Amino acid sequence: MKRFLPDWDANGPRLEDGELSADRADASIRDYLVALTCDIAMADRDIRDEVLVAGARMMRRFDAMVNFRDGLKRNLKMTKQAIDKIVARTEVT
């Protein structure tokens, strides 16, 4: 994480449960999180899919899978099939 966010402090302040939840995350926060996920995914192609899966899980919690899918298509030029593969890894079987 430090590689991409030099000021990152894993021991720094944390959000408490409920501080950032689906009902409190408006469209601008959702769009920002999608853009951030895409940026981090593109920064290191070796971990790209893992970053995108983590982003998909987060966006699922925010009821924002439409934002996530649209962001991957727009920002990363991913196909529907490639996006479906990432999203499938987040679904409970």
Kindly list the domain boundaries of the chain, sorted by start residue: 27-88
* Whole-number pLDDT of residue 15: 64
* Whole-number pLDDT of residue 88: 95
16: pLDDT strictly greater than 70: no
Residue 2 pLDDT class (50, 70, 90 cuts): low
* Whole-number pLDDT of residue 53: 95
Q: Which tokens in the block code for residue 72?
A: 């991957």
**Distance, CA of 9 to chain centre:** 19
- Angle (CA) 25 59 15, round 5°: 55
The arithmetic mean of pLDDT across residues 6-18, rounded, is 71
Distance separating alpha carbons of residues 34 and 67, to the nearest angstrom: 7
